[in-house]
Structure 1
Amino acid sequence: MNIQRVAVDPPRRPLARLLAPYIAELKAELRRTWRTPAFVLPCLLFPVLFYAMFGVMLGRGQASRYLLATYCVFGAMGPALFGFGVQLAMDRAGGLLTLKRALPVPPLAPLLARLLMAVIFAVVVAILLIAAARTMGGVSLAPLQMAGLVAVAALVALPLGAIGLLIGSHVESDAAPALVNLVYLPLALLSGLWVPLSMLPGVFSTLAPLWPTWHAAQLALRVIGQPAGGSVLMHGMVLGAVTVVGALLAARRLRRVG
């Protein structure tokens, strides 16, 4: 008797089931983050306090408008760099990544959850800065300009998250905070996020296109009608390249050492 084999397509998983592990990881990441005031409060409040001091109290002319744009970029840097760089190094040291590999969780779910967390923080900081600029600095913005600033802040989380991922995948947990600070603070200064590059020696302006945060700052300045260098396409290509290269190098490292 001939038995014919009939190919049966595997049942398709509903979209909700496919997204469930990613949503669960995001909820867990948000709970862990919000239960760490030493991380949450500086990330949310320091950019606003610095803006109130340098952009409102000590600012002159267009300073409040300029610093609103650059501080939106600066405010997105902290959660991305520290959330990925330091926390990933600690997770590696504690064996959490190894444990999650043994669980029925998509490999990218923890990293995507952390990336979304960084984006959420960047958006919240941008909204707080816009509110401070409008109420204390007298900055007038159209709705599209406010939305554009929030979008740029969210965009910054991608390349900075990739850089943080690269640091966290290579550095031990004890050294990660120091190295992240060595990237975080000089990058903000060299990109003109604290003071305009025109107020610094000419070498700073010459080297500025090397830093991804400078490109993000130019996008933010362009959104609110401030003078900005380069083209939108160039800035987008640089930020995209940093994101892809950093993520690929970090993924390669994590596959080898975990």
Structure 2
Amino acid sequence: MDTLRSSFTGALAPMPRGRVFAAYLQETRAECLRYLRSPSFLLPTLLFPAVFFVMFGVVLGGHGPAEAPRYLLASYSSFGVMAPGLFGFGMSLALERDNGLLTLKRALPMPPAAYLAGKMVMAMLMAALISTVLQALGLALAHVQLQVAQMLQLGLVCVLGAIPFCALGLLLGTLVKGHGAPAVVNLLYLPMAFLSGLWFPLQMLPPLVRAQAPLWPSYHLNALAQSALGFDTGSAWPHVLWLAVFTAGVLAIAVRRLRRYG
């Protein structure tokens, strides 16, 4: 009986910090390798914003205002970093709920948050890669003049800006089934980008669209990206605060729903 009691107590003992860190690290590594080995996710996520920027910022940018390529670099950077969180988090979670992988993950002896942290780090790394590709295109093809500080600030905005969309993707992943997730995510992703002024400046859109633009997280992310490249968008703190509150609120709802599948 004493042996059984000691074994049971040992099973319930908290994991050492080294093993907890290793679990987070391994889950992040596995998540990143999974998407690196999935060209159907990796290539569209990278190429979609790059192609848009080449079309409008490089090919057509020379026929517009001198600052158009710089403006579009910021807006398509915002557009690009939305995808890893929405698709890599939301769509994959919905699929993993359906095929039983989420249930298996929750049964494994690892910290529950490691599963979510791995996906979030993957999305942030993808955002960094997208920002790097777009900045390289801006410098090489559109001849955008960027200071090192501006490049670093835009990269930081993109990496941290992926987090609100990870939270939104997490919520979507708890709401929709796997087979319907791609359509639902696209129905949110593309209209949200348009309504936030990421494809065209808000001044070119109808008054009704301009009035509702601040409701979208992509609008506030784009304001921070524009500010990073030298455009005057006012104080950054209201946009940061809005994104922080949005992330916390959406994440709280998503985690509550996710517990139902435990």
TM-score tier (shorter): over 0.9
- Match status 1:233 vs 2:240: no
Which residue type is aligned with residue 182 of structure 2? P
Q: For 2:161 and 2:188, how far apart are their aligned partners in 1? A: 15
1:65 aligns with 2:78: no
Q: Which residue of 1 aligns with 2:215?
A: 210
| 1:128 corresponds to 2:130 | no
Displacement of 1:31 in angstroms is: 1.3
Percent identity over the alignment?
Answer: 48
Alignment partner for residue 50 of structure 1, among 39, 49, 52? 52
| CA 12–81 in structure 1, closer or farther in 2 if over 3 Å, else same | closer
* Alpha-carbon distance in structure 1 between the residues aligned to 2:79 and 2:214: 16
Equivalent residue number for residue 25 of structure 1 = 27
Aligned positions of 1:165-176 closer than 5 A: 165-176=170-181
Q: Which has the higher helix share?
A: 2
- 5+ residue gaps, structure 2, are 1-12
| CA distance in structure 2 between the aligned counterparts of 1:118 and 1:21, rounded to whole angstroms | 18
CA-atom RMSD in angstroms: 1.5
- 1:252, 1:52 → 2: CA distance? 41
Match of 1:86 among 84, 91, 95: 91
How far 1:217 sits from its partner (Å)? 0.4
Deviations 1:192-248 (A, max 9, x none): 1111111111222111111111001001111111132x5311101111111111111
Give 1:194's match in structure 2, choosing from 195, 199, 208. 199
> In 2, distance between residues paired with 1:171 and 1:49?
29
Measure the CA separation in 1 of the matches of 2:159 and 2:130: 10
Q: Structure 1: which 5+ runs fail to align? A: 1-9
| Counterpart for residue 150 of structure 1 | 155
Structure 1 residue runs of 4 or more that deviate by more than 3 Å after TM superposition: 10-13
Kindly indicate whether residue 166 of structure 2 is the aligned counterpart of residue 164 of structure 1.
no
Is the CA contact 2:103–2:261 (under 8 Å) kept in the aligned structure 1? no
CA distance in 2, matches of 1:213, 1:27: 28
Aligned residues: 247
User: Structure 1's 136 and 154: CA in aligned 2 closer, same or farther, altered over 3 A?
Assistant: same
| CA apart distance, 1:11 | 10
TM-score (norm: length of structure 1): 0.92
